[in-house]
Amino acid sequence: MESLVAFLSKAGPIGIAIVGSSVIALFIIIERCWAFRQLRFKDARLLHRLRKRAVAGSYAEAMALVREESHPLAVAMTPVLTRLDGPQRTTRAALEKAIGHVAAREVRQLERFLPTLFLISSVTPLLGLFGTVTGMIKAFQAIQHLGGKVNASVLAGGIWEAMLTTALGLGVAIPAMVAHNYLQGKVHVVVAEIKEESGVLLDELEEAGRFDSASKSASLHEINQAQQEIG
């Protein structure tokens, strides 16, 4: 404990700020990794069973299946089944729009804390550079105070701060940036799965005549927009 306190005292206030940022980044990485680890279907054949029941018109049974799952893909299917089970006949464009709204909301949940992690990975190198500058200023102030008679022991404090803050800044920024890109890639995978699987479901429902196909040419605009936002 004493060695840690001594280390932080040599790094200065900027070094302490970088270490504090590393603690926040570590928390975000662990929390997001755990959250993505939970994105697993309880039923491995859910999508097949869902499509089979939806095409057959058994919307209540299909909704019972998706309610048991917390995966964003299952959540995105809920408005489709709700509209199909309603009293009025719907269209493909309306279903795509409903999927898009839910998908955008789920993407925001998946991206939770990721902007903060990106901010840490961007700012900590600059803090390290700032600490380097302030450390060198202290060293030159010591030289001026000694009247040009250089004493290594006097300069050590400023040099310590300059080197430590640079190393700390890079040591925090590099893994934070790697983790951010990895987690952002996970979000892209989920968005792609929602877009692909919802498209397959809508195609099969359209072939079965479960909704009006007048707007067949409409695309999954909201999902594409959500994917662009996270890109």
Per the domain annotation, does 196 fall within a domain? yes
Per the domain annotation, does 152 fall within a domain? no
Please tell me which residue, 113 or 60, carries the higher pLDDT value. 113
The residue range of the domain holding 186 is 13-120+173-230
Q: How high does pLDDT run on average in the chain?
A: 82
Average pLDDT over residues 84-105: 85
Q: Select the highest-mean-pLDDT range: 140-154, 165-179, 202-216.
A: 165-179
At residue 122, the pLDDT reads 95
* Residue 5, helix vs strand vs coil: helix
Per the domain annotation, does 178 fall within a domain? yes
Per the domain annotation, does 128 fall within a domain? no
- Evaluate if residue 123 carries a pLDDT over 90: yes
At residue 132, the pLDDT reads 85
Per the domain annotation, does 180 fall within a domain? yes
- Evaluate if residue 52 carries a pLDDT over 50: yes
Per the domain annotation, does 135 fall within a domain? no
* Cβ-Cβ contacts under 8 Å for 199 (sequence gap 6 or more): 220
Per the domain annotation, does 168 fall within a domain? no
Per the domain annotation, does 68 fall within a domain? yes
The closest of 163, 166, 164 to 174, measured between CA atoms, is 166
Token pair of 56 as six digits: 């057959």
The four Cα atoms 14, 16, 20, 22 give a dihedral, to 10 degrees, of: 80
Q: Report d(CA 162, CA 14) in Å as an integer.
A: 10
Q: Report d(CA 18, CA 100) in Å as an integer.
A: 39
DSSP bridge partners of 91: 212
Domain count, the chain: 1
